[in-house]
Each structure stands twice: as C-alpha cells, then as structure tokens.
Amino acid sequence: MKLKLSGKELRAIGLPEGPVISLAMTVMEKHYKHHTKEAAFEILKDVLQNPEIYKTHEALSAIAEKLIKTTASEAPLREGFGEAVSLNQHGIQFNVFGQEHIEEGAMHQMYQAAKLPISVAGALMPDAHSGYGLPIGGVLATENAVIPYGVGVDIGCRMCLSIFAIDPKELAQKENYFAREINEATLFGSGAQFDQASNHEVMENEFFYQIPLLKNLHGRAWKQLGSSGSGNHFVEFGVIEIAEKDEVLGVAAGKYVGLLSHSGSRALGANIANHYTKIAIDKRRLPNDAKNLAWLTLDEEAGIEYWNAMNLAGDYASACHHIIHAKIAKQLGQRPLKMVENHHNFAWKEKWNGKDVIVHRKGATPAGENVLGIIPGSMTADGFIVKGKGETAAVNSASHGAGRKMSRTRAIQSVTDKQFKDELKKFGVKLLGGGLDESPFAYKDIEVVMQSQTALVDVVGKFTPKIVKMDGAKHRSWKKGNDEKQMGE
C-alpha cells in the first residue's frame, strides 16, 4: 500500500499551516511512498526539529528550506509565552578532535550550542554525529544552567565492565554456558519488563515520592530495573588484555574474561528528558534550529526538579548494570577483580578556570586526570579501558565509542546478511540478537577514533568481544525507512 498523508495528520505532528503542509505531502508521497505513516512522521519530525541539517538532502531539502523561511517570517514570540532568547553572534571557542571524520550536521549543532548566552566552554569528540540539541559527542560547560537535550534522552547511558580471573579460553570451550548466562541475566527491547521486579535501594529514592512526574513512572521503572533496552545497547563477554599493570586500574598484566554492558535509564530517563525539554522550550524561546538547546536554570523550580530527576535516572541506570553484573557473577561463582564504569550521557557540576559550571557530556566519556572509563568499538571491534589525562582543551572528556558512520536505514539497505555473518565469523563473534542496523559496517574505525584522542586518554587495557547480546527484534520499522537517531544519545 502506498503512503497517503493528510494535512490534518501533518498539522498534528507540528508542521506549520500554509504551503509547508502541501509540499511535505507531495515530497513524502513521492520519495517515501513505501514507508509506513509512522516512519514518515518520524522523518518529518526530525526535519521540523533540525531543518538546517536537511538543507542539502536530496529529497527533503525543499521542506527544510520552506520551514526555515516560515520560521524566519513568524513573530519571534507569542505574547506572555516564555522569554525570547537571541544567540550570540560569535560563539565561544571550542576544540574539535578528529575533525576530518565528523559530519557537517554535528559541527553545525556544536556551533549553535557555542552561541548560547549560557555557554562557557565546549569540545567535540572524534566519534561525534548529529543528534537532538547538542550533537552526540558534544561537550558543553554552562553557567548555572542545564540543557535536558544536552544530556540526551537516555539519561545516564553508561558502560560497566567486570574483570574476572577466568582463563579466556573458557569463552570458546563453554560458549553455550556463557551465552545462557547473558540470556538469563537481562531483557532487551524498548518495552521489555520483568514479571518479577528486582529489589534495589534506588527504588526508595525520595524523589520518586516528591516529584509528580516520577511518582507516575515508579511502577514501570521497577519492572524495567535490570533490563537493557534496544538500539546500540548490549551485554557481552570478551577477552580482557592488560599489557602492564597500571597503578590506577590495579590489575596485573595478563588476559582475563570481561563482562561489558552498555545501557541507560530506560523509559524513566526518556520521560524525564522529554518532559523537561518541553518546559525548557516554553521558557526560553530560541530560534527554531536551536530550540532543542533550551535550558533550565538551577535557581528555578523546574531546573532543580530536572537536576534531581536526572541524578536519580543516573543512579537508576547504574543500578540496572549492577544487577546484571551481580546476577552473572553469582552464576560464575566469581567476584570481579575490578569493576570499571562511567556515564556518557549526563551533566556534572565541575570547576572550570576556578568557576562553578555544569558540564554536559552527551555521548562523551569523563576523562579527568586518572579517571577510568570504557570506550567500546563495535560488536567485532576492540574496546578500550582508558585513563583520563585531564586535558582542558577537551573539557576533561573523550569519545564514548567509535561513533556511527551510517544511519540505521542506510546500514540496513547497504549491508547484506551474508556480509554481516561473514564479518562475525571472521572475528569469531557469537551474536545473540542484533540486526544489520548495528552491524560493524555502520561504525567508524575505533582505531582511528582512538588515534584522534591520544592527548585525552591513556589506554590501560583492551576488550575484545566474543559473545554479544543485543535486542533481537526484527527492526521492521527500520526496514521501512525510519531513520531515527542512535539510541542512547
């Protein structure tokens, strides 16, 4: 069945009255005629939120140009509806690492963020690509303000690594055993919930009972505690190799079994992000292509609420990882020699040139001096245990992974099942779930990314994936063209 849209439907998703509606109908029904309505709406929503990114798009540029013109001609502010905010003409200076590998859209979003009147310092990491608001891989320090979409939808998305004193040869010898332990320890999928909820002190956090939004999310959050989500989230076993003992890591040179997980705060974080972003957009009326950078100050009620909710979501995400790792450690009959973990979608109160600032790291790893972190590659590429150098030019940050070089839709359209299977076989990786949208071909070369940030981190260990568990859904919507931003931004 061919795509058929109505003006009423397009107005409902936020497209403005006038010629944009008819133009959007024509373009979508011509170029996206085999998409579902839901997929078409997601594409249009993204164009609506980020028209500048689509100015050179082969099919969508006409819609983007019309949206930009319509926005420019509108009154900047409805009377009594938030405060009008202008961007600074010249933004703050920020450093870019690995610029030759970063797409134009991410650069544009970082330039917009640099022009915010609250911006103090910034940097762009070598795995950067465009997202909503702050680009993924963007780091921004602000004065007394927090940007919900500067943190991201998946608040507290993070890495967690347990290092076990197990001979890595056992991963091949008992492959089915290790695969079973991952399968039984967690659930994948955007709506996944446990029938029997885990117990953890995070569910007794006072803010679940004090903040109205969180009260309504408590029950679902409990049922999702210890689950892993979808998109680029994973739990995997692999081989840890430590060339020489590092004083901070504290693990002797050798090879070990590593358990590595990547996920965030599930529906809890997404609801917090979307709720407070809407409030921020209403309070601070920015130009249309910068509206997702709207902020809340930390001396107003909504800003304090968001800050408390964000920190709760971060604690919740951490608890999810700890539950998974504890379950598997118990089954292995082992206590980890060391656990290394870090958020990479969060905001922190830090000092910058002697000044109190809020540092947003959206898809960026904290890399203060001697701070340990994990930077993964792909399901076949090595990941790295790193130690921060405290580089001020990067606002004490590093990349959060390899970064995508293909959208999900492009990966599905350009990578065959045979290529995918051959690549897994080549690297000796057993995949439990996971689709073409997360294939190794969709990601940048992690070695190149790491070479771009030698001034930011030291590598103190390497993780090579061997048994990888991801969401096993069929990704039907991706096959029909829904080109959403990377999960976990």
Instruction: Look at residues 52, 73, 94 and tell me which one is the last residue of a structural domain.
Output: 73
Pairing mode, strands 234-242 and 345-352: unpaired
What is the count of structural domains for the chain? 2
Note the pLDDT of residue 6. Answer: 85
For the chain, count helices (H), then strands (E).
16, 19
**309 within domain boundaries:** yes
User: CATH number of the domain that 290 lies in?
Assistant: 3.90.1860.10
**487 within domain boundaries:** no
DSSP structural state of residue 390: -
Region of residue 321 (phi > 0: left; psi between -120 and 50: alpha; otherwise: beta):
alpha
Residues 308, 170, single domain; the answer is yes
Residues 303, 410, single domain; the answer is yes
Look at residues 260, 268, 184 and name the one whose alpha carbon lies nearest to residue 224.
268
Residues 174, 318, single domain; the answer is yes
Quote the CA–CA distance of 471 and 87 in Å, as a whole number. 40
Burial label for 349, CB within 10 Å (0-12, 13-18, 19+), is exposed
Note the pLDDT of residue 433. Answer: 87
Backbone angles phi, psi at 193, to 5 degrees: -140, 150
Structure-token match 């529906």, residue found: 267
Token pair of 321 as six digits: 């990882």
Residues 182, 49, single domain; the answer is no
**79 within domain boundaries:** no
Instruction: Look at residues 73, 99, 130 and tell me which one is the last residue of a structural domain.
Output: 73
Q: How does residue 264 score in pLDDT terms, banded at 50, 70 and 90? A: very high
Quote the CA–CA distance of 246 and 369 in Å, as a whole number. 14
Q: Which distant-in-sequence residues (6+ apart) come within 8 Å of 200 by Cβ?
A: 225, 319, 322, 323
pLDDT for residue 487 is more than 60: no
Length of the chain: 489
Residue pair 347/156 in contact by the 8 Å Cβ criterion: no
pLDDT tens-digit profile of 442-452? 999 999 999 99
Quote the CA–CA distance of 160 and 164 in Å, as a whole number. 13
Quote the CA–CA distance of 50 and 152 in Å, as a whole number. 15
Instruction: Look at residues 73, 95, 129 and tell me which one is the last residue of a structural domain.
Output: 73
Note the pLDDT of residue 478. Answer: 36
Residues 55, 164, single domain; the answer is no
Pairing mode, strands 83-84 and 284-285: parallel
| Beta-bridge mates of residue 364 | 399
Number of neighbours of residue 81 by Cβ within 10 angstroms: 10
Quote the CA–CA distance of 34 and 68 in Å, as a whole number. 27
Residues 162, 51, single domain; the answer is no
Cα→Cα distances 422→140, 176, 405, 425, 465, Å: 40, 20, 20, 5, 16
**322 within domain boundaries:** yes
Region of poorest pLDDT, from 131-135, 189-193, 388-392, 473-477 = 473-477
Region of residue 250 (phi > 0: left; psi between -120 and 50: alpha; otherwise: beta):
left
| Beta-bridge mates of residue 260 | 161, 236
Residues 172, 299, single domain; the answer is yes
Look at residues 261, 275, 267 and name the one whose alpha carbon lies nearest to residue 193.
267
Residues 220, 335, single domain; the answer is yes
**16 within domain boundaries:** yes
Helix (H, G, I), strand (E, B) or coil at 95: strand
What value does the mean pLDDT of the chain take? 91
Cα→Cα distances 165→82, 178, 193, 260, 288, Å: 57, 15, 32, 15, 53
Region of poorest pLDDT, from 3-17, 202-216, 400-414, 430-444 = 3-17
Residues 68, 195, single domain; the answer is no
Residues 178, 52, single domain; the answer is no
**131 within domain boundaries:** no
Q: How does residue 73 score in pLDDT terms, banded at 50, 70 and 90? A: very low
Token pair of 252 as six digits: 């002797």
pLDDT for residue 401 is more than 90: yes
**452 within domain boundaries:** yes
Residue pair 457/340 in contact by the 8 Å Cβ criterion: no
pLDDT tens-digit profile of 90-122? 899 999 999 998 988 999 999 999 999 999 999
Cα four-point dihedral sign 410, 155, 51, 399: negative
Q: Which helix (H) or strand (E) holds 414?
A: helix 408-414
Q: Which domain range does residue 292 map to? A: 158-479
Q: How does residue 78 score in pLDDT terms, banded at 50, 70 and 90? A: very low
Note the pLDDT of residue 72. Answer: 55
Note the pLDDT of residue 474. Answer: 53
Region of poorest pLDDT, from 51-55, 231-235, 284-288 = 51-55
**227 within domain boundaries:** yes
pLDDT tens-digit profile of 177-207? 999 999 999 999 888 899 988 899 999 999 9
pLDDT tens-digit profile of 414-437? 999 999 999 999 999 999 988 899
